[in-house]
Amino acid sequence: MQAGALSNALKKGAIWGFIVLELVFFSVAGEYLSLSDKAFMDLDNMLLLFKQSAPIGIIAMGMTIVMINGNIDLSVGATFAIAAIILLDSMTWPILAGLGDWVIPVSWLLALAAGTALGALNGLIVWKTGVDAFIVTLGSMLGYRGIVFMFNGENPTSHLNWTLVDFAEAQVLGLHTATWFLLGVTLAIWYLMTRTVHGRNAYAIGDNREAAVNAGIRVGPHMMVNFMIIGFLAALSAVVFYSESGSVNPNDGQLYELWVITAVVLGGTKITGGAGNIVGTFGGVLAIQLLRKGLGHIGADTSTVNLVIGLILIAVLILDRQLNVKGKEALKT
């Protein structure tokens, strides 16, 4: 029993141990390899790290719920792009022209509503047809991307609103706006998953759907709500990111689903559902961003980042399996 608890503690702590390892490694290696004089553990650098983690991190929180629930969402990248286009495009609509800067909250709401609606559509299809979420969202990943292209063909959609840029670039208590959004979302979803009935049901359904049905949980609507949450968060991620950048390409957000799933799995969430936690995902997001930044710091290019992240993902899987096997053996004796 104690060995089981130990392996659990090991698993929960693993991601943070990994982050510390990364920090030490890049700080030391940076002394010798880095081209810049700045230390890796610089405060500004770390604050920037949080800010750059926000787009992937915000979506990853939604993906954690969906994966704990036993589903998956591959369409988040396309939803992200649609929300971004609606955000920027709607600010130029003649109907909203008279609003002045009040157009900003309206555009935000429109973008967020669109993301939620797209998530709801995914959830509704999963619920009503019984088709596996992997297939449903694989399809909508294509379909939503098609919708993205319908707005403006292959041209970028651009609109810079300086009030919005100022807001996005602001720093409150030293943290950037995007960081605050990431922290807020993390806290809200953590509360949802650990302190509410909805969160407990998510674990129950992911662990054993049949048992959850027998226990009287309405599985269909529950899953749909989770898809709406991830759609909303994908849109929120776009809102935070594009408020600052002001220009969106129709291919933006591609491969986001892969980054997000990698972060969530690194954070210890089971792809088969029923297990996982928000704090772990937060660690996974930071670990990935640290890796990208750190490798850049010591002069490695993107190819190495891809290689290393892929290998780490597989290594984590092997490690996780070994720990699980050990835990089971401990129970037997």
Partner 1 sequence: MTALSRERIGTLLARQGILIAFAIFIIAFTLANPKFLTVDNVFSVIRSSAILGVMALGVTFVVISGNLDLSVGSMMSFSTIVVLDLHDKIGPLLAIPAMFAMTLALGALIGLLVGYLKLNSLIVTLGMLSAIHGLTLTYSGGKNMDIADKEGTWFSVFGQGTALGVPVPILMFLALAALLGIVLAKTPFGRKVYAVGGNGTAATFAGIRRARTVFTCYLISAGCVATAGLIQASRSLGSQNTVGQGLELEVLAAVILGGASLMGGSGTVFKTVIGVLILGFIQNGLLLMGLQFYVQFVVTWIIIILAVWLDIAAKRGRLWSPIA
Which residue in the set 82, 83, 110, 261 belongs to the binding site for partner 1 (CB under 8 A)?
261
220 binds partner 1 (CB under 8 A): yes
Options 24-32, 86-94, 156-164, 311-319: segment touching partner 1 (CB under 8 A): 311-319
Angle 95-100-105 from CA coordinates, rounded to 5°: 80
Size of residue set near partner 1 by CB under 8 A: 54
Instruction: Please list every residue from 37 through 96 that binds partner 1, using CB under 8 A.
Output: 74
C-beta closer to partner 1: residue 222 or 297? 222
C-beta closer to partner 1: residue 80 or 144? 144
Instruction: Please list every residue from 120 through 139 that binds partner 1, using CB under 8 A.
Output: 125, 127-132, 134-136, 138-139
Instruction: Please list every residue from 189 through 218 that binds partner 1, using CB under 8 A.
Output: 213, 218
C-beta closer to partner 1: residue 195 or 321? 321
Which residue in the set 306, 328, 329, 331 belongs to the binding site for partner 1 (CB under 8 A)?
306
Bridge partners of residue 158, in order along the sequence: 247
Residue 135 Cβ vs partner 1, minimum distance, rounded to whole Å: 5
Which residue in the set 23, 117, 147, 165 belongs to the binding site for partner 1 (CB under 8 A)?
147
C-beta closer to partner 1: residue 34 or 140? 140
225 binds partner 1 (CB under 8 A): no
C-beta closer to partner 1: residue 46 or 147? 147
219 binds partner 1 (CB under 8 A): yes
C-beta closer to partner 1: residue 95 or 318? 318
256 binds partner 1 (CB under 8 A): no
Alpha carbon distance 158, 153 (integer Å): 13
* Other Cβ atoms within 10 Å of 300 Cβ, number: 17
Taking each helix axis as running N to C, give the angle between helix 76-90 and helix 219-245, from 0 to 180 degrees, rounded to the nearest 10.
Answer: 50
Which residue in the set 64, 116, 140, 226 belongs to the binding site for partner 1 (CB under 8 A)?
140
Q: Strand 157-158 vs strand 247-248: parallel, antiparallel, or unpaired? A: antiparallel
Measured CA to CA in angstroms, residue 112 lies from 84, 108, 116, 119, 247 at distances of 10, 6, 6, 11, 18
Alpha carbon distance 292, 64 (integer Å): 21
Q: 202 near 79, Cβ under 8 Å?
A: no
CB proximity list for 270: less than 8 A, separation 6 or greater:
67, 68, 206, 276
Measured CA to CA in angstroms, residue 211 lies from 93, 102, 204, 214, 221 at distances of 50, 49, 8, 5, 16
Q: Helices (H) and strands (E) in the chain — how many of each? A: 13, 4
Residue 301 Cβ vs partner 1, minimum distance, rounded to whole Å: 7
Which residue in the set 92, 158, 208, 254 belongs to the binding site for partner 1 (CB under 8 A)?
254
Which residue in the set 153, 162, 197, 333 belongs to the binding site for partner 1 (CB under 8 A)?
153
Q: What single letter denotes the amino acid at residue 146?
A: G
Q: Lay out the site mask for partner 1 across 267-286 (x = CB under 8 A, - = otherwise).
A: ----xx--------------
* Other Cβ atoms within 10 Å of 167 Cβ, number: 13
Alpha carbon distance 168, 149 (integer Å): 26
Q: Strand 247-248 vs strand 175-176: parallel, antiparallel, or unpaired? A: unpaired
Q: Scan for tokens 């098609």, then name that residue.
A: 146
Residues that bind partner 1 (CB under 8 A): 74, 125, 127-132, 134-136, 138-150, 153, 213, 218-220, 223, 254, 258, 261-262, 265, 271-272, 301-314, 317-318, 321
